[in-house]
């Protein structure tokens, strides 16, 4: 018996058939992984199963009974919970307040208060502690959500779903923003849930994870369900081929680097974060033309703030940032862009795109005021359009529609728009922060090859990635960042997974 099932589920968006007669089922106690290239329709399918959007046709069943969801509330009542890719928590509220939000129980304290409901804090908190204990979710109910790292915020979202009685947990790319340690913990939690008969649907692009956690794997391709397999009957390269519809090279080929002049020179950089903590401590590094310097490190060791400082989004407390000798320390972002720095930001939703702008305008976001996109103060729409017509096929952005708004694109396609823009405007140095986060294996291959080709043509690249595989595949030199400092730098020939892993944990 299926706890949740989709029968011939179809979703037609204007101009895009996002789900085409999709069949899917989930059994109690199983982890069912949903795979598929960017834009395949995974999130759309989950959003229908959670009542966020309604199907154009087809049927959803819970325990073999047809259901009609008009909102997530209907899905929640049927025991379906979802943890979104972008958490929906209120940062200034406590964990408990966030969890009870919308399901507050009130109790009348005294006759004097009669009629005035008073929020009951004691019993929800006890229930939260009990859930946290049962599923080894280490969360303090009284902590302020805004103070918690992403991994813990995600646990709050899970407890929130459990608190509402979820029997099914849908998670859309839950590990994309987690450190390897946090991902391991998440998998332990998922195992604890399924051991009690609950079931989980997981979307991920990381094939190694799929093999480790899945009981069954379903693969989507261009809106259709192409097959369901078990991990013991498949391997990573077969899954990649099912997703993308062709063979994927999981390893990039590249010639030895021919480093040229120093492009980026950072000396003794010190940065403090929003809470006045020193998060970058005396960092010095150089990126030369024609080389890729990879910064390995567990997320949260100052990489984010380092990149923000280089790109003009945060001020340095001490030290200097130079590009081809020009002092750019604390310069405004536009000056840094004009000095030849491209930036693929870590948070594409916040720093990468304007969601309600067309794709074409997003592709001109850094250059719209320059020729040929503007003459004087007049925007030249034909030039902006022509650029999009060139970049969309070159970077395989789907749908290939320049007047689609960026917000309607799937996660991976948003990333491709940013990469197209940052890699096509003649930058000499590329700061690439988590460049393939949320990107499918076929597009990872494409982006990696693009970066390597550009580096062979003289581009210098500072690569920041939480994926050790990506660091090892692309870098010519590797630096390890730990607690705000670069604790080691080595040529790629000397970098092994084990050595980097130890350094990332601070073991020298
Ligand atoms: N609100 C919307 N309006 C128009 N088109 C949409 C909307 N939401 C999604 N789409 C389109 O539907 C298709 C499927 O998108 P979906 O987000 O389900 O893909 P996905 O498999 O989750 O991809 P990714 O791995 O990149 O997250 C895409 O072509 C997308 O552009
Ligand atoms: Mg998605």
Q: Which two tokens stand for residue 292?
A: 């890729």
What was the pLDDT predicted at 106? 54
**Secondary structure class of 466 (helix, strand, coil):** coil
pLDDT at residue 371 is higher than 70 = yes
Q: Whose CA is nearest to atom 18 of ligand 1?
A: 41
In three-state secondary structure terms, 27 is coil
* Residue range 400-440, pLDDT digits in tens: 999 999 999 988 899 999 999 999 999 999 999 999 988 89
**What local confidence, expressed as pLDDT, does residue 119 receive?**
56
Specify the fold of 258-340+429-508: Rossmann fold (3.40.50)
Q: Which pLDDT score is estimated for 93? A: 93
Give the ligand 1 atom nearest the CA of 11: 12
* pLDDT bucket at 458, cuts 50 / 70 / 90: very high
- For 418-448, the DSSP string reads HHHHHTSS--SEEEEESTTTT--HHHHHHHH
Answer yes or no: are the C-beta atoms of 264 and 292 closer than 8 Å. Answer: no
DSSP state of 352: I
Who has greater pLDDT, 418 or 136?
A: 418
pLDDT digits (tens, 9 = 90+) for 224-260: 999 999 999 999 999 999 988 888 877 788 889 999 9
**DSSP annotation string for 304-338:** HHHHHHHTTSS--SEEEEEETTEE-TT--HHHHHH
- What pLDDT, on the 0 to 100 scale, is given for residue 104? 65
The atom number, within ligand 1, closest to the CA of 413 reads 26
What is the C-alpha separation between 389 and 20, in angstroms, rounded? 27
Q: How far is the CA of 376 from the centre of ligand 1 (A)?
A: 37
Work out the angle between the directed axes of helices 150-163 and 122-134 (0-180°, nearest 10): 110
Nearest to 172, CA basis, from 27, 44, 300: 44
Token pair 């325990």 is found at: 63
Q: Which atom of ligand 1 is nearest to the CA of 36?
A: 21
Q: How far apart (Å, rounded) are the C-alpha atoms in residues 157 and 87? A: 7
Q: How far apart (Å, rounded) are the C-alpha atoms in residues 478 and 490? A: 5
Q: Is 42 helix (H, G, I), strand (E, B) or coil?
A: helix
| Domain parsing of the chain, residue ranges | 4-244, 258-340+429-508, 350-425
Other residues' Cβ atoms within 10 Å of the Cβ of residue 198: 22
Do 471 and 490 contact (CB within 8 A), yes or no? no
Q: Is the pLDDT of residue 148 over 90?
A: no
Listed residues: CB within 5 A of ion ligand 2: 43, 410-411
For residue 412, the CA-to-ligand 2 centroid distance in Å is: 7
Inter-residue contact 343 to 431 (CB < 8 Å) = yes
Task: Give long-range contacts, CB 8 A cutoff, 24+ apart: 374-378.
Answer: none
Among 50-54, 106-110, 265-269, 298-302, the range scoring the smallest mean pLDDT is 106-110
Of 138, 248, 243, whose CA–CA distance to 185 is shortest? 138
Instruction: Collect all residues with Cβ–Cβ distance below 8 Å to 14 and sequence separation of at least 6.
Output: none
Q: Which residue, by CA, sits nearest to atom 24 of ligand 1?
A: 38
Rounded to the nearest angstrom, the distance between the alpha carbon of 411 and the centre of ligand 2 is 5
> Which residues fall within 8 angstroms of residue 348, CB to CB, at 6 or more apart?
414, 415, 418
Residue 377: band (very low, low, confident or very high) from pLDDT cuts 50, 70, 90: confident
What separation in Å is there between the alpha carbon of 45 and the centre of ligand 1? 10
Ligand nearest to the CA of 413: 1
pLDDT at residue 354 greater than cutoff 50:
yes
CATH number for the region 4-244 comes to 3.40.50.300
Nearest to 282 by CA among 332, 331, 319, 325: 319
Residues 16-68 pLDDT 10s:
999 999 999 999 999 999 999 999 999 999 999 999 999 999 999 999 999 99
Full DSSP string of 63-126: TTEEE--SSHHHHHHTTEEEE-SS----TTSBHHHHHHTTS--EE--SGGGTTS-EE--HHHHH
Pairing, β 199-203 against β 168-172: parallel
Q: How far is the CA of 408 from the centre of ligand 1 (A)?
A: 7
Number of the ligand closest to the Cα of 37 = 1
CA of 39 to the centre of ligand 2 (A): 7
Q: Ligand 1: which residue has its CA nearest to atom 16?
A: 41
Ligand 1 pocket, residues with Cβ under 6 angstroms: 13, 16, 18, 36, 38-44, 398-399, 408-413, 440
Q: What is the pTM of this model?
A: 0.86
With beta carbons less than 8 A apart as the criterion, state whether 461 and 430 touch: yes
Q: Which of 399, 381, 400 is nearest to 390 (CA)?
A: 400
Q: Verify cis geometry, omega within 30 degrees of 0, for the bond prior to 372.
A: yes
Domains 4-244 and 258-340+429-508 are alike in CATH topology: yes
Of 137, 106, 111, residue with least CA distance to 122: 106
Kindly report which listed range (113-122, 142-151, 398-407) carries the lowest average pLDDT score: 113-122
Phi/psi for 320 (5° steps) reads -135, 150
Which ligand lies nearest to the CA atom of residue 400 in the structure? 1
Please give the distance, rounded to the nearest whole angstrom, from the Cα atom of residue 158 to the centre of ligand 1: 24
Lowest mean pLDDT among 117-126, 221-230, 441-450: 117-126
**3-class SS at 131?**
helix
Secondary structure (3-state) at 303: helix
Q: Which of 410, 414, 447 to mutate to test the pocket of ligand 1 (most atoms within 8 A of CB)?
A: 410
Distance from the alpha carbon of residue 409 to the mean position of ligand 2, in angstroms: 9
């Amino acid at each position: 018996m299926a706890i949740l099932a989709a029968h011939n589920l179809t979703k037609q968006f204007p101009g895009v058939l996002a789900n085409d007669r999709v069949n899917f089922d989930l059994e109690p106690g199983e982890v069912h992984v949903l795979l598929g290239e960017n834009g395949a329709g995974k999130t759309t399918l989950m959003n229908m199963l959670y009542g966020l959007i309604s199907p154009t046709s087809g049927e959803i069943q819970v325990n073999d009974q047809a259901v009609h969801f008009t909102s997530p509330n209907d899905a929640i009542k049927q025991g379906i919970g979802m943890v979104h890719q972008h958490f929906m928590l209120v940062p200034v509220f406590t964990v408990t307040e966030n969890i009870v939000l919308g399901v507050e129980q009130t109790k009348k304290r005294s006759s004097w208060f009669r009629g005035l409901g008073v929020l009951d804090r004691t019993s929800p908190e006890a229930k939260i502690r009990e859930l946290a204990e049962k599923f080894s979710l280490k969360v303090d109910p009284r902590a302020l959500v805004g103070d918690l790292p992403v991994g813990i915020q995600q646990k709050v979202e899970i407890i929130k779903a459990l608190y509402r009685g979820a029997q099914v947990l849908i998670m859309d790319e839950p590990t994309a923003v987690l450190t390897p340690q946090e991902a391991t913990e998440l998998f332990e939690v998922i195992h604890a849930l399924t051991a009690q008969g609950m079931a989980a649907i997981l979307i991920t692009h990381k094939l190694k994870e799929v093999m480790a956690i899945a009981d069954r794997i379903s693969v989507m391709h261009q809106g259709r369900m192409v097959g369901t397999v078990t991990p013991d009957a498949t391997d990573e390269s077969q899954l990649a081929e099912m997703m993308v519809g062709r063979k994927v090279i999981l390893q990039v080929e590249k010639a030895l680097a021919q480093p040229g002049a120093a492009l980026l020179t950072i000396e003794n950089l010190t940065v403090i974060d929003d809470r006045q903590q020193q998060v970058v401590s005396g960092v010095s590094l150089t990126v030369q033309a024609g080389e890729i310097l990879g910064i390995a490190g567990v997320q949260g060791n100052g990489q984010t703030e380092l990149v923000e400082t280089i790109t003009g989004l945060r001020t340095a407390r001490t030290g200097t940032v130079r590009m081809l000798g020009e002092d750019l320390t604390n310069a405004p972002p536009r000056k840094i862009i004009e000095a030849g720095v491209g930036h693929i930001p870590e948070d594409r939703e916040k720093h990468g795109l304007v969601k309600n702008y067309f794709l074409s305008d997003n592709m001109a976001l850094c250059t719209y005021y320059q020729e040929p996109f503007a003459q004087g103060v007049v925007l030249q729409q034909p030039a902006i359009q022509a650029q999009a017509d060139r970049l969309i096929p070159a970077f395989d952005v789907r749908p290939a529609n320049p007047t689609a708004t960026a917000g309607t694109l799937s996660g991976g396609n948003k990333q491709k728009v940013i990469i197209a823009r940052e890699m096509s405007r003649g930058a000499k140095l590329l700061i690439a922060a988590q460049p393939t986060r949320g990107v499918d294996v076929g597009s990872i291959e494409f982006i990696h090859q693009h970066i390597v080709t550009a580096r062979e043509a003289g581009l210098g690249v500072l690569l920041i990635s939480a994926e050790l595989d990506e660091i090892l595949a692309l870098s010519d030199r590797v630096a390890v960042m730990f607690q705000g400092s670069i604790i080691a730098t080595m040529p790629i020939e000397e970098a092994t997974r084990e050595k980097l892993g130890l350094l990332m944990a601070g073991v020298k």
